[in-house]
Amino acid sequence: MAATRAVSIASSTSTCLLTKKPLLLKQKPYGYSLCLQNLKVAHSSSKRSYTCRAIYNPQVQIKEEGQPETLDYRVFFVEKSGKKVSPWHDVPLLLGDNVFNFIVEIPKESSAKMEVATDEPHTPIKQDTKKGKLRYYPYNIHWNYGLLPQTWEDPSFANSEVEGAFGDNDPVDVVEIGERRGKIGEILRIKPLGALAMIDEGELDWKIVAISLDDPKASLVNDVDDVEKHFPGTLTAIRDWFRDYKIPDGKPANKFGLDNKAANKDYALKVITETNESWNKLVKRSIPAGELSLL
């Protein structure tokens, strides 16, 4: 049994406001290059700003196959023609002015551990498993949780700023703190506010703290200090949640680098830039993909 619903997704073309030339943003396995210049100047001292804006295309739909909370359940992204596309590789990352696409994997106040299947063709969203059984968090997650498309935490790269930890071989995670509960597969426009450097069993697993542009408080929060002012206690709650969620299963608490604190917006943008560059190398096959799907 399959069900479909429409979502908004950035289109395959955009216009660079600096050059007035079209940019090809649709990922083909060997040919994509993001307008990285915009990201790089965004967190530097340079006064220049190269802004590239993607155009929304409402023709992409979510197609659910199988029943929720079963081993066969998959959430695919499909074009109007019925062609499947990858939420990881084919959804553009950057929308301009430090606004990014964010894909909801786990809606707030739910516990099923949903994730993009990075080793399956078209990388659909599925429920994670362990020893053949569906995985659940021991308690609900209180924020919309998901990924930044076209990012990748390189497991061969040791981050000297975070205890030399290697990347976790996944897209970058986002914790979206807005009030509305998202849907699995929904694409939200978000702006980063900060970053937590979680270390999970020795692997670096970034958590970008962000807010949907559609949230009523979006205009009030533009950096990590604003989060504490307008969402008091949220940063501590996020850190503690991700630190402790494995303890009920008998595993040790996760650790955090960067002095156990959330880094600011500029640092979050730096993380996004670096992990997008890593993804770009991955899809160009400059780095071995291993079992990861590039379709």
Among the listed residues 107, 200, 118, 191, the one whose alpha carbon sits nearest the alpha carbon of residue 152: 118
- Three-state secondary structure of the chain: CEEEEECCEEEEEEEECCCCCEEECCCCCCCCCCCHHHHHHHCCCCCCCCCEEEEEECCCEEEEECCCCCCCCEEEEECCCCCEECCCCCCCCEEECCEEEEEEEECCCEEECEEECCCCCCCCEEECEECCEECEEEEEECCEEEEECCCCCCCCCEECCCCCEEECCCCEEEEECCCCCCCCCCEEEEEEEEEEEEEECCEEEEEEEEEECCCCCHHHCCCHHHHHHHCCCHHHHHHHHHHHCCHHHCCCCCEECHHHCCECHHHHHHHHHHHHHHHHHHHCCCCCCCCCCCC
Give me the amino acid identity at 283.
V
- The length of the chain in residues reads 295
Amino acid type, 117: A
Structure tokens at 182: 């998202």
Residues known to be catalytic: 137
